[in-house]
Amino acid sequence: MISSQAPITGRSLNNAKRLAVFLLAVCFLSLAGCGSTKVYTANKTITYKGDLYNMSNVQKISTRVEGRLPNGDVRNMKGMDSKAVGALLKEGSPILVTTAVDMDSQEMVYERRSITRSSEFSSMVKRMQSASKKISRFMANKKSTQLRLK
């Protein structure tokens, strides 16, 4: 009997090895992409002056600048320029100024102190704006989990 199958030669065996190596390479490359997709679900926290604030479920972050006059009136000082602060200081000095970050139902008092000059107010606002930028960058970065404010 004569067999209809051709004998396996060295050349066809070599092609089979090449095909197997090629298929293995394709499998490894396709699986390598699976490991690089990461989901970051860690809780985000901010620490400031020994307090810990959980930011994981926070929907809205806003800043607040308030001033308490010596007569007890509370004024919104956000966006005031040095002339407006000077006019308030003429009404009564010193003014107790509070800069705070509101995070949904939480409040983080960033700084609270009495001022007697508009330059003190300007420096407080600059520090608050710097902290606000740090918080924004922290919340946008998916990898970072903790921010320590100074």
Residue 2 lies in a domain: no
- Considering the domain architecture, whether residues 69 and 27 belong to the same structural domain is answered as no
Cα 54 to Cα 43, 51, 103, 107: the distances in Å are 7, 10, 9, 11
What would the mean pLDDT of 32-53 be, rounded to a whole number?
76
CB 101 within 8 A of CB 131: yes
- Considering the domain architecture, whether residues 29 and 89 belong to the same structural domain is answered as no
What would the mean pLDDT of 54-69 be, rounded to a whole number?
91
Question: What confidence tier does 8 reach under pLDDT thresholds 50, 70, 90?
Answer: low
Mean of per-residue pLDDT scores for the chain: 84
Kindly give, in sequence order, each residue whose CB lies less than 8 Å from that of residue 37, ignoring residues fewer than 6 positions away. Answer: none
Is pLDDT of 133 > 90? yes
Is pLDDT of 68 > 60? yes
CA gap 6, 27 in Å, rounded: 31
CA gap 63, 72 in Å, rounded: 22
- Considering the domain architecture, whether residues 90 and 114 belong to the same structural domain is answered as yes
- Considering the domain architecture, whether residues 102 and 120 belong to the same structural domain is answered as yes
- Considering the domain architecture, whether residues 54 and 14 belong to the same structural domain is answered as no
Number of domains, the chain: 2
- Considering the domain architecture, whether residues 55 and 128 belong to the same structural domain is answered as yes
CB 101 within 8 A of CB 130: no
Is pLDDT of 66 > 80? yes
CB 53 within 8 A of CB 127: no
What would the mean pLDDT of 115-133 be, rounded to a whole number?
94
What does residue 53 show for φ and ψ, rounded to 5 degrees?
Answer: -115, 125
- Considering the domain architecture, whether residues 33 and 50 belong to the same structural domain is answered as no
> What residue numbers bound the domain in which 20 lies?
9-38
Question: What confidence tier does 115 reach under pLDDT thresholds 50, 70, 90?
Answer: very high
What would the mean pLDDT of 105-121 be, rounded to a whole number?
92
- Considering the domain architecture, whether residues 18 and 89 belong to the same structural domain is answered as no
- Considering the domain architecture, whether residues 33 and 60 belong to the same structural domain is answered as no
Question: What confidence tier does 93 reach under pLDDT thresholds 50, 70, 90?
Answer: confident
Is pLDDT of 2 > 90? no
